[in-house]
A = this chain, B = another copy of it.
Amino acid sequence: MSKQSATLLIQCDDQVGLVAAVTEFIQRHMGNVLHLEQHVDTDAFFMRVEWDLENFNLENNAVADAFEKQIAHRFSMSFQLFFSGEKQRMALFVSKLPHCFYDILSRYQSGEWDIEIPLIVSNHEDMRPVAEQFGIDFYHLPITADNKAEQEKRQVELLKQHKIDFIVLARYMQILTADIIDQYPNRIINIHHSFLPAFPGAKPYHSAHARGVKIIGATSHYVTADLDAGPIISQDVSRVSHSEEVDEFIRKGRDLEKTVLANALWKHMQRKTLVYKNRTIIFN
């Protein structure tokens, strides 16, 4: 897909003529729609449209302004505009567990994901050698009850300095405070090792084993101030049986966590997510 394209993510109150207005705008400027999806949730309207820029007669830097004036203003739309080829910048927060960390770095290094990872932040030194092996800057910012506010301030500085677009908590075992969360709304992605809302909090595999469930899961979600209660982006499950100890739940869970987090990141990177009323709209 080397075609140059533009993508609009649109949100507004539902009204007659929305799709017609947006598609007419694209057509009038000689664009050809490649993908279009819309969704109506009661009285709210959501749309993602991607079009070919080949014959499009507006310069990239003039599109947002034209769309605002010609369309968005009229319908009180909020919108995001992206162009293909823009690389997003991701920060990776880890602790001691390596599986999601290796998986993300492998996808990055092998070129599966067309992004930048300028920095890794951890409260432990354990993953430093892996970060170095993959050639990415590693910042060790140990967290204690006493220094949390200060270290988060340092984290925000690093994020700003590296122009980070979104943050991934790849089994980062610390709870972020509103000081960070509020600055990156719907841009911090966590992986929780249970099928939320079942088993929030710590040790979900132990709880799942104790409850005797026959299926375990993993959930990736945007981080909000409410622990493990943010908008869900992706979930998946795996069958377990009475013959499996907690160790085996954890082993199976690792593979779930890797793929569920990777799926959520892929959707986010492709600008296919919107958040509304603590739920996500995930475009195809």
Whether A16 contacts B36 by the Cβ 8 Å rule is no
Whether A102 contacts B98 by the Cβ 8 Å rule is no
Q: Which residues of B contact A280 (CB under 8 A)?
A: 212, 242
Q: Which residues of B contact A236 (CB under 8 A)?
A: 215
Q: Which residues of B contact A234 (CB under 8 A)?
A: 214
Tell me if A's interface is mostly helix, strand, loop or mixed: mixed
Q: Which residues of B contact A16 (CB under 8 A)?
A: 27, 30-32
The CA-CA distance from A237 to B256 in the complex, in Å, is: 14
Given A36-B38, A235-B215, A247-B1, CB of A19 within 8 Å of CB of B23 = yes
The CA-CA distance from A98 to B212 in the complex, in Å, is: 29
**Which chain A residues (1-48) contact chain B, with CB distance < 8 Å?**
1, 14, 16-20, 23-24, 26-27, 30-41
Whether A33 contacts B23 by the Cβ 8 Å rule is no
Whether B30 contacts A40 by the Cβ 8 Å rule is no
Cβ of A103 under 8 Å from chain B: yes
- Of all chain B residues, which has the CB nearest A234? B214
Q: Which residues of B contact A255 (CB under 8 A)?
A: 259, 262
Q: Which residues of B contact A102 (CB under 8 A)?
A: 102, 106, 109-110
Whether A282 contacts B242 by the Cβ 8 Å rule is yes
- Of all chain B residues, which has the CB nearest A231? B212
Given A215-B217, A235-B213, A247-B1, CB of A19 within 8 Å of CB of B32 = no
Q: Which residues of B contact A251 (CB under 8 A)?
A: 112, 266
- Of all chain B residues, which has the CB nearest A127? B110
Interface pairs (19), CB distance under 8 Å:
A16-B31, A17-B27, A20-B20, A20-B24, A20-B26, A24-B24, A35-B40, A102-B106, A106-B106, A196-B213, A197-B213, A211-B232, A212-B232, A212-B278, A212-B279, A214-B233, A215-B237, A241-B284, A259-B259
The CA-CA distance from A211 to B114 in the complex, in Å, is: 30
Cβ of A254 under 8 Å from chain B: yes
The CA-CA distance from A241 to B109 in the complex, in Å, is: 29
Cβ of A243 under 8 Å from chain B: yes
Q: Mark A239-279, 1 if CB is under 8 A from B, else 0.
A: 10111000100010011000100100010000000000011
